[in-house]
Amino acid sequence: KLASEHGTPLYVYSAKTIRDHYCRLDEALAGLDHRVCFAMKANSNLAVLALLAREGAGFDIVSGGELFRVLKAGGRADACTFAGVGKTREEIEYALGQGVYSFNVESEPELEFINEVAGAMGRKAPVALRVNPDVDAQTHKYISTGKSHNKFGIGIDRILGVYAAAAKLPHLKIRGIQTHIGSQILETKPFVEALGKLVPIVEELKSLYGLEFFSIGGGVGIIYHGTLESGAPDWWKRAEADGGRRIAFDDYAQAVVPLLKPLGLKILLEPGRSLVGNAGAMLAGVVYVKRTPAKTFVITDAGMNDLIRPALYEGHHEIVPLKEPAADAPRGPVDVVGPVCESGDFFAQDRDLPSVKAGDRLALLSAGAYGFVMASNYNSRRLPAEILVDGDKAEVVRERQSWDDLIAGEKLPG
Ligand code: LLP
């Protein structure tokens, strides 16, 4: 119905699922003094932010623009941690002016620069250092961040020295410590390994500088494999058989809480994908079915510009026809592709799907995280609309771009 009303490509999110995920994580951590700071890079629609802010979430931000969004959505700056390796003067001034809870600092030059900017503003900047624990998160190389060859954080072997240097800078207030080892992590082992390395250091830093918090980052993986085609119980079994593992929040909590509790610190978490990933789908229309001697291509009106995960990380998204096919409908391996002029513009290759025809519609599942936020105007394609479904209400929370939006801000010279 939504696809008919609003056209495709279309992102659709479930408010109930987002709330449910947030509450389940929050409850799993009930034994800890904690705050969940949603890593809003995963989905920064104002409506999603507002709904999480109402639940009590803080936000993990990575740019001035993200802070701007939090404030527009009614979130609080003092519940935000500001991460990222390249914060500019403008962003630091803005974040300091608005009173963010902490700058998560990723290098010595950044530490000195924040000190300088804070000094010029007559302020003290609250900081935490991001420590890179050098563990293997066993995830895709583009989303692994906790190895020593990654650009992120300060090496675990140097962290004490950098804290000592930070403590000498007059316009900084040491508030905490942070780590994040990667994304879409499907077992608890890498988290436990990282904490095993970090906890003794955090204890030492706490006694030296009176830390207030330890942020353990995000990274909890979700299910991308498995569909609801034949009902939940079956789907669950198939997902498991498919390697569709994920970490349940309870298992995550059971693994990390015992390590963290003795620290007596406020524990921050920065989940992105695990709160919103399975709460969203992208709907696409089939434009043509092209049969060649080598392959069958299902060509959709959505492209890699709308959902780039398959092209960029070989990310898997289940694809289901919006109208359930008859049980005896023919099936076969197809490539589901977009209209963009790139061979990388595919959503699935050699995927066994029920046969579809032009005019049918498909849903690409688990697209609520790193979906719309990574969309672009490549090939001068308009950004899709976003819908938030809450109970029996479905609201357009972002209009589809118009062609005029495509050229907004551009000018023909003189
Ligand atoms: N904290 C920090 C410092 C991060 O860099 C990230 C993600 C998160 C938290 C949230 O991680 P999550 O809970 O969502 O795993 N675009 C990629 C994922 C990039 C993740 C970047 N950093 C994808 O589509 O798979």
Verify whether ligand 1 is closer than 6 Å to residue 42 (CB atom): yes
Burial class (CB in 10 A: 0-12, 13-18, 19+), 317: buried
Q: What is the pLDDT of residue 227?
A: 53
Is 198 a pocket residue for ligand 1 (Cβ < 6 Å)?
no
Question: Which atom of ligand 1 sits closest to the CA of residue 277?
Answer: 14
3-state helix, strand, coil in the chain (%, to 5): 35, 25, 40
Query: Would you say the CB of residue 9 lies under 6 angstroms from ligand 1?
Result: no
The helix-helix angle for 15-28 and 46-55 (nearest 10°) equals 40
Residue 130 beta carbon below 6 angstroms from any ligand 1 atom? no
Ligand 1 touching residue 371 (CB < 6 A): no
List the residue whose alpha carbon is closest to atom 24 of ligand 1.
Answer: 370
The pLDDT of residue 296 = 97
Hey, which residues does 285 pair with through a beta bridge?
361
At residue 44, what is the residue type? S
The response to whether residue 60 sits with its C-beta less than 6 Å from ligand 1 reads yes
Rounded Cα–Cα distance for residues 86 and 156 (Å): 20
Instruction: Determine the distance separating the centroid of ligand 1 and the alpha carbon of 209, expressed in angstroms.
Output: 29
Q: Give the separation between CA 131 and CA 153, rounded to whole angstroms.
A: 5
Residue among 176, 183, 188 nearest 259 (CA): 188
Mutate to test the pocket of ligand 1, among 35, 82, 273 (most ligand atoms within 8 A of CB): 273
Task: Determine the distance separating the centroid of ligand 1 and the alpha carbon of 218, expressed in angstroms.
Answer: 7
Q: How far is the CA of 272 from the centre of ligand 1 (A)?
A: 6
Amino acid at 365: L
For atom 7 of ligand 1, the residue with the nearest CA is 183
The whole-model pTM stands at 0.95
| Torsion angle, alpha carbons of 250, 317, 17, 390, to 10 | 180
Q: How far is CA 216 from CA 6, 84, 133, 252, in A?
A: 40, 15, 11, 12
Residue partners of 35: CB distance under 8 A and separation at least 6: 58, 79, 266, 267, 268, 269
> Which burial class, exposed, middle or buried, applies to 151 when counting CB atoms under 10 A from its CB (0-12, 13-18, 19+)?
exposed
Are the C-beta atoms of residues 152 and 140 closer than 8 Å to each other? no
Tokens of 263: 């620290």
Q: Is the CB of 322 under 6 A from ligand 1?
A: no
Shortest-distance atom of ligand 1 to CA 42: 14
Residue nearest to atom 3 of ligand 1 (CA): 180
Task: Look at the alpha carbons of 219, 283, 381, 310 in this order and tell me if their dihedral is positive or negative.
Answer: positive
Residue whose pair of structure tokens reads 């410590």 in the numeric block: 177
Q: Which residues pair with 116 in a beta bridge?
A: none
Is 316 near ligand 1, meaning CB less than 6 Å away? no
Active site residue 341: yes
What is the Å distance from ligand 1's center to 305 Cα? 19
- Which parts of the chain have pLDDT scores under 70? 143-144, 146, 226-246
Strands 361-364 and 319-321: antiparallel
| Atom number, ligand 1, closest to the C-alpha of residue 271 | 13
* Cβ-contact 11, 390 below 8 angstroms: no
Q: Please tell me the distance from the alpha carbon of residue 129 to that of residue 205, in angstroms, as a whole number.
A: 11
Helix (H, G, I), strand (E, B) or coil at 307: coil
Which pLDDT tens digit goes with each residue over 51-105?
A: 999 999 999 999 999 999 999 999 999 999 999 999 999 999 999 999 999 999 9
Cα(177) to centroid of ligand 1, in Å? 18
Each residue's pLDDT tens digit, 138-166: 777 776 676 777 788 899 999 999 999 99
Q: Do β-strands 331-337 and 346-354 pair in parallel, antiparallel, or remain unpaired?
A: antiparallel
Contact 221, 188 (CB under 8 A): no
CA angle 190, 60, 77 (to 5 degrees): 155
Cβ count within 10 A of residue 48 = 27
Residues 6+ apart with CB under 8 A from 410: none
Q: Whose CA is nearest to atom 6 of ligand 1?
A: 218
State the Cα angle at 44 between 212 and 310, rounded to 5°.
110
As given in the structure block, the two tokens for residue 158 are: 């140097």
Pocket flag, ligand 1, residue 310 (CB < 6 Å): no
Which parts of 140-230 are beta strand (E)? Answer: 154-155, 172-178, 213-215
- For ligand 1, is residue 309 a contact (CB within 6 Å)? yes
The span from the CA of 112 to the CA of 171, in Å, is 10
Asked if residues 337 and 298 have their Cβ atoms less than 8 Å apart, the reply is yes
Q: Which of 18, 154, 181, 183 is the pocket-test mutation for ligand 1 (most atoms within 8 Å of CB)?
A: 183
Q: Are 253 and 307 in contact (CB under 8 A)?
A: no
CA distance 382 to 1: 21
